[in-house]
A and B are shown apart, each in its own frame.
Chain A
Amino acid sequence: MKKSILGLLSVMVVLSILVSACGSATPETVTVVQTVEKVVTQEVETVVTKEVEKVVTKEVEKVVTKEVEKVAEPVHIVLWTKEGETDGGLQFVQSLAEAYTSIHPNVTFDVVNKDVEALREDFQTAALAGSSPDLLWTVNDHAGPFTAADLIMPVDDLFDLSAYVDSALKAAKLDGKTWGVPISNGNHLMLLYNKSLVATPPETTDDLIAMAADLKAQGITPLVFNQTEPFWMVPWLGGFGGAVFADDGVTPTLDTPAMVNTLAFLHDIKYKEEIIPTESDYDGADTLFKEGKAAMIINGDWSLGGYADLLGKDLGVARIPKVSATGEWPKPYTAGVYFMLPNTLEGAKLDAVVDFVKFATNTNNQALMVAKLNRLPALKTALDDPLISQNELLKGSADQMVVGVPMPTVLEMRCNWDAMKPEMQAVLADTKTPEDAAAAMQSAADNCIKTLE
């Protein structure tokens, strides 16, 4: 550029000298000089503009290249999910990860499946050892222990949470902050029935007992559910008018008449009415229902996809039968499944994780989840999808949610779960009375809460 400008300036100088050498300037020579000056100025401007454009373009290119390089920095995300293979949940998570990688080839994933409890225990241990995963796909009540141990970060400033359903957000709130981005809304128990065995689901527990005789005569187990986890007992406790915490939300209330009645009811339907099997864990109940050996199962929304694939139109969804003794509907815990972000995330990895979470919960992928897993979405816009309004199973699931109660996320809830589990099993194994079991639950929960400090 310098050379061209110098060249033009030289021409101007030479011309000026020539004109001056010719003596006093005539009007013609002035006009010539002016014209030459104009032309030269224009030329100079054009050349300068071109050169500046070139430089700017080069600079912009450099900056863009740098930015692109920054964005394309390889990021590997280890994602732990509680989703298993049987109902297609794990495959869905993997498909999301693969879809994201196809758009952003620099971001790769390791999707690791862990049972809900194993995920919690392993995450705490991994965090202690300084080798946390980068993203968790888990249930809301994990927020309690994870926040107590300061292992996850609040997500309020990272996402536009107004896009998500309020009830789902509430279940991940603690101390005024939101600790998870909701993926699905619900995670609640409901009554699922095989229409080829039961035409109309029981409205009340009395109806359930009444229809059980016919089913048993056919060699069909009337009702199955996971008898090893208190998560399946809690709805009945609500139906008998009880709750696991006092109004303060942290004081266990397990030794109550409602709990005794709940345990007595469970004992009765097992030993007196013989409605439920002698022993049944999650897999046992699931298999009996899938094989058509059980007419009804109490299971969560996560199982809808798998059962719908197997039973098709024979699958029905209803509320868990109303407790005849109280006239109350059982109250399953409602929450959802959430993304939780370890507080060790930073820089490019945090950016990639946030972007992936937005991608995984966008309207399209929420609709895909509804279609594949039959779960209620957590994104407001996805709720309007005709897939939901036209889906009988999801309508039933939403109807059950109406009578549900939000699952507590406080750390003390862990003590309640751990306290209820062995005592509920003892009553179902007929080795303890409901009264003794309720008292033992209370003392175990109280002891546990003392050890939290």
Chain B
Amino acid sequence: MHSLTFDVIRRSLEEVGSTVALIFVGTVLLEALLYFVLRRIFKSKFTIPFMLLGPAIVGLIALIVYPLLWEFNLSLTNMSLRHFGDKAQYTWVVCQTLDPAKIDSYLTDCLIKNYANVFRLPVLKQAYFFPVFFKTILWTFINVFFHVLGGLGLAILLNRPMRGRGLYRAILILPWAIPQVIAVLAWRGEFHFEYGFMNIILRDLGMQPIKWMTDPTWNFVAMVLVNVWLGIPFMMVILLGGLQSISGEFYEAAEIDGASNFQQFTNITLPLLRPVMTPAIVLGTIWTFNNFNVPFFINQNELESSDILVTALFRAAFQYNRYGFAAAFAFVIFVILLIYSIFYIKITGGLKEVYE
């Protein structure tokens, strides 16, 4: 093990320092340019706002817009190990070298070949797009359902006077505080057939141990267990905040009217929690849909039955080296989430206040 010497620190700072210096100098130059162009030449009254937004816009272009365009460009090529880097060609250019008799449709066989392949070829070794897509929906639904159920239950329990409430809350938030990859790898150890905590408990209870890693159903269950454990604290914190904002007067009035606890819950708690719950569910859905760490690391044996869209995408790109195909696959996933988000925002009016 190497010790943290002065030389190591100096070298690390040098590596990071040059980037930071570059960003700093770039920002100063950009600000100077904006000031000169807008204030001196155009005499614009929006000089200051543009100067404030300028670095962020450049950052977004460099970190989001450019990679997206690069990715889109990649999705139109045949890039793979045999056609790596500069050797990659656009799919329609490759078509020109093929026998025209072998081309059924110029659109799907040449122009958007990779996009068509996402739906007509296996996205993994055996699994096609739609089975993986429906499994991803099932995975998302089950997880978000238990996140909301568990989070709401714990939030209601914590939202009442009791001794040590702060301590309980801190303990319950712990899974959220642990880096996700570390937590998932620790959990994976607990699903080990011989030495894992889960099977030790089952054996002690006189039950048969479970093949968590090789049985497709149980592997999926293991993934859900871990993700539910990881996701409940977030939902609990959000919903607890929502519960605390509901005035106690509503419940007092309901009690005077003789409403039962269940009636109070369905007629007061749930409706008043909805403004908080809706964005939390949207976020939770997108996060779970795109959750990479849990399905990837718990599925140690790379069972295709446990792969969801994002892990399939990772395997297509980095394990099977189908770079052009994987770029098209990524855009398909992006479009699915975009449609979902637009649909959900329209239905719930989530961004209404922003517009008005």
Interface, chain A (partner B; CB < 8 A): 117, 121, 124-125, 127-128, 145, 148-151, 227-228, 277-281, 284, 287-288, 411, 418-419, 421-422, 425, 428-429, 431, 440, 443-444, 447-448, 451-453
CA–CA, A177 and B289, complex, Å = 46
Which residue on chain B has the smallest CB distance to residue A227?
A: B214
For B301, list chain A residues within 8 Å (CB): 228, 281, 422, 425
CA–CA, A151 and B95, complex, Å = 26
For B283, list chain A residues within 8 Å (CB): none
Evaluate contact between A279 and B193: CB separation under 8 angstroms.
yes
Interchain Cβ contacts under 8 Å between A and B, 8 examples: A148-B84, A150-B84, A280-B193, A281-B301, A284-B192, A284-B195, A429-B214, A431-B216
In the complex, which of the residues B81, B213, B323 contacts A279, with contact meaning CB atoms closer than 8 Å? B213
Question: Nearest Cβ in chain B — how far from A230, in angstroms?
Answer: 11
In the complex, which of the residues A148, A278, A287, A422 contacts B82, with contact meaning CB atoms closer than 8 Å? A148
CA–CA, A432 and B320, complex, Å = 24
In the complex, which of the residues A121, A145, A278, A419 contacts B209, with contact meaning CB atoms closer than 8 Å? A278
Question: Nearest Cβ in chain A — how far from B330, in angstroms?
Answer: 15
CA–CA, A4 and B84, complex, Å = 71
Which residue on chain B has the smallest CB distance to residue A150?
A: B84
Give the number of residue pairs across the A-B interface with Cβ within 8 Å: 99
Evaluate contact between A287 and B195: CB separation under 8 angstroms.
yes
Interface size on B, residues (CB 8 A): 34
Evaluate contact between B211 and A279: CB separation under 8 angstroms.
yes
Evaluate contact between B125 and A121: CB separation under 8 angstroms.
no
CA–CA, A71 and B211, complex, Å = 58
CA–CA, A280 and B194, complex, Å = 8
Evaluate contact between A121 and B319: CB separation under 8 angstroms.
yes
Which residue on chain B has the smallest CB distance to residue A279?
A: B193
Given A128-B323, A418-B320, 15 other A-B contacts at CB below 8 A? A121-B319, A127-B84, A128-B84, A128-B85, A150-B85, A280-B193, A287-B194, A418-B319, A422-B303, A422-B304, A425-B214, A429-B215, A444-B122, A444-B126, A453-B78
Evaluate contact between B193 and A422: CB separation under 8 angstroms.
no
CA–CA, A339 and B194, complex, Å = 37
Given contacts A284-B195, A411-B82, A418-B319, contact A278 B211 (CB under 8 A): yes
Main secondary structure of the interface of B (DSSP, over half): loop
For B81, list chain A residues within 8 Å (CB): 124, 145, 148-149, 411, 452
Given contacts A277-B193, A425-B301, contact A452 B125 (CB under 8 A): no
CA–CA, A145 and B194, complex, Å = 36
For B323, list chain A residues within 8 Å (CB): 128
Which residue on chain B has the smallest CB distance to residue A94?
A: B2
CA–CA, A145 and B122, complex, Å = 21
Which residue on chain B has the smallest CB distance to residue A228?
A: B301
For A288, list chain B residues within 8 Å (CB): 194
**Which residue, of A127, A150, A277, has the highest number of chain B Cβ atoms within 10 A?**
A150
- Is B267 an interface residue when CB atoms closer than 8 A count as contact? no
Evaluate contact between A421 and B321: CB separation under 8 angstroms.
no
Which 10 A-B pairs rank lowest in CB-CB distance, beginning with the nearest?
A279-B193, A149-B84, A429-B214, A444-B125, A148-B81, A149-B81, A121-B318, A228-B301, A145-B81, A148-B82
Given contacts A149-B81, A418-B320, contact A447 B122 (CB under 8 A): yes
CA–CA, A124 and B320, complex, Å = 11
Evaluate contact between A422 and B125: CB separation under 8 angstroms.
yes
Question: Nearest Cβ in chain A — how far from B194, in angstroms?
Answer: 6
Q: What does the 1/0 interface line of B108-127 toward A look like (CB < 8 Å)?
A: 00000000000001100110
Question: Nearest Cβ in chain B — how far from A115, in angstroms?
Answer: 12
- Is B159 an interface residue when CB atoms closer than 8 A count as contact? no
Q: What does the 1/0 interface line of B315-330 toward A look like (CB < 8 Å)?
A: 0001111110100000
